[in-house]
Structure 1
Amino acid sequence: MAALGSAGPVLLLLAALSVLSVAVFVARLIALRGASAGAAARADWLDAVEGGAMPGAPVGGGAPADRLLARAAALLPRRPAPEALTAELEAMGATEVAALGRGVRTLEIIGLIAPLLGLLGTVLGMIQSFRALELAEGAANASILAGGIWQALLTTAAGLIVTIPALVGAAILQSRIDRATDEMERVIGRAALAAALPRS
């Protein structure tokens, strides 16, 4: 680490951010597994309700949309106003979306600050190079300058190596969240439609 000079602390910090981003991504990827699953079963249940039947409570899955559907199933027999049902399900859905989104912002922040840390390491490396040239006076040669430059470029590369996977990971997680959100919106819309249907 001493051979890296002023770049050493920056590289250590970037390494820590890299480990953090991988840990967050893996944990959230596992948590989001199946977040949009069960669409066919939900559609079948809602089809039955829209057809005038009032089937029993749907078999609950682990997806956020399943929890919204279970709540809708509990409310629909009471014949709520569509607006009231929509408001309650949307409030519940907002809580679900907030829970789904945990970790994405962390990856986005890592993707934002990692290249800046790489740039900081670059600046520190260049300062070290020119300081070494100044101290060498008449004995200065290209190797003194090159030593600082490679350190500077190393931190720039390290910053990009941390940034790119973090941003890609955030995009992957966000796409899964978007799919789960679409499923919740579909449940809310169809439940409101079912609430508006006349009942015999």
Structure 2
Amino acid sequence: MSTPERERLRKRMEEKLKRYVPPLEGFQTVEKWLEDEKSQQKIHEELQKQQFLLDLLHSKISARHEQGKSTGNLDENAWQVQNSITAIKRKLKQLLDALPQVVPLNPISDTSRCIEMYEEKQLMATQGMLREDIAEERQKIAKLCWKLRNFKNFDENPAKNEEKSDEWVEKCKLEEAARSTLLEEITRLRSECADLRARLEMESACL
């Protein structure tokens, strides 16, 4: 690290030390301070200081115990700091509880709009599944027609082939009927989706 950088770092550290305010001492002092203080930020900063102080006291108490020394004064200080922390947390909770609650202006309208959007998504998903069904049915029809053409070209057993040919023709007709039904269902769902989308846009415009 160059000399100018060290100098800048030293100045920043000095500024921080000058701005640092030590934690309040004594439970009664903290209680009196909390009566007038309304800033959540300042109260939270004091809470952090008191918690750090409590950790430091616990470390000192542990060291004294290991050395077999008395910890009476340290225990008393730790008890005071613990009470201060409890009071600070209680004050923070009171300030948070006193904040105005945000209530939706029109919760019923919001709920209805969410329900309608959900229904629209459901319809779109159903439409997608039906499209897949139609594509699958088309493949089946093409396969059946291909088999039908092969049977027509097979002349080894005319009577039997004619019977099977009639069977495949009937299957093709059934597949075509199913396809027509699916197309009608798709058309109906598209119309419902369009109506629902129009209602949603109308509601949004009215809000």
* TM norm structure 2: 0.39
- Which structure is higher in RCO with an 8 Å CA cutoff and minimum separation 6? 1
Between Structure 1 and Structure 2, whose CA radius of gyration is higher?
2
* TM norm structure 1: 0.41
